[in-house]
A and B are shown apart, each in its own frame.
Chain A
């Protein structure tokens, strides 16, 4: 029985290949978007704490001379790694010198404050270096590159073999100099005089909540002239939180936008399935299916498609997540986001649950009808509602017919309009962000230069210990400039989602309208007019998205900016022509997306289309 049932379900899928493909595609897009949104949210969700956990971060760190090793003997310490020596040096890149804090962790990363490799591998040889990821990202250095670090003998070539995350204070360039992990031999080459090394001792405590109290006690235990600095994990987290606040707000806003986009795709999916299958129900009941069996059959059919689509979507989301969230993780100096089992389960469950609801409810309604009524209901279609009637039939006929069609399918048009509105709002926010970034750059020209603040790992006076080739001061790009690639890549994702959603809506609509389009063709609409009527049906969504999306985008950006900066004095609204061009570009994009379905509509065979019942 089960095998027969599955065979019938699979035959049903094969029999409606296009509809099945669209359903699976929408399920895949929904699952991918949900996976991305959840992943992005997890990047923004306490990035420092996550990195701290994954790197077995230190509750206390002492920086200074070799005596910092005494920190490991402090009461309450439960875990300590051997002290790590380091030295400041610099290297040249693109005509500029950059300071580097070379920490000689060696081939075995320390147990505490253990760097988490995010790309490449850990170092194994004396001529290799692993760079901290926000430093590598800011300088555009990847595994496989090489840096020539200043050394006592001139310089030493170090091959970058990996990039790693650590739970330091603020990410580079707020925290300078950048950090690199090298072998002891490389450190000796950079600074042979071990008296000039800076040692760091990282420990974990049995009572982390008492870290500040123990840090004070530790400071008292070192002689004042030793110039040892002791920092608790609370101080580092506080500094990291201040620096990453903007990034987390932006990422949270985008994960919310992605969730909205995902929900809209889901609603579209539900709407697509809500197309009543009364006629099929009638046919099945006529051959002996009970209402329960009909519902079960449709449910199995949809769940097969949903599982296949959602599985592919989650896999796609997992592939996309590092591309979309990679920059964010680097900017937050956190470990990269990964798709967790919970994300996978949540995405697939959300898609399958809604597909089940979307299938079962109309099926139950349909199954209550008698066979004859169900067969007849399968032929009935929408009626000219009030919104559709408000548009008088007139010339140009393709436009008015398209508008009437769009308003006759108000729920689907609403979904299309909302999906486009979200995308337009995100794009306008991105445009305003870009304009504001330039405005900030103009305001800050000259003022942003010359920030060279030794990092919190440097002992007082550490700047004096810089190796030959002291770097020039490094300009710290504004946060807006650093967020630019993240904002633009997330906007690209939203555009992609909106395009797929819109395409699915138009394809579904054309498919459902096949008979109506054939009738229009039969009474004299030319193929070109049919195509134009399909394009025209999207005018409502484009107009609504333009009218709502532009002010919403401006408000979204100004709102986020005000939350981040406290005021909007430095913001700049995009020029009027850029905003005026938005609806035109949107219309052109929608026209391009609708091209293939419109062409399909214009070329349909009237006899074949009308013979379908």
Chain B
């Protein structure tokens, strides 16, 4: 029985991420920070929030995939992260949908 359990559980290797990757990701994050600050000084109208949040999403993705090891984790972990993001977006999205559609008037 123990052998069986061991085989089931060793489906994912306990992958040790190399410090080079951490360094590269860290540098990319700092670069992203500089970029987002620099772009914020330019008036791009409605694109300012879009670009700023876009860069934030990229940075967060890097942190999740590499610092938090999700890239090397089981499918379950990946699914869990996606489930959380999905419900978070549902909360914000559907609530905002109510607020935005109020302005559309009554039919």
B and A form one assembly: no
Measured CB to CB, the residues of B under 8 A from A are none
Q: Which residues in A have some Cβ–Cβ distance to B below 8 Å?
A: none
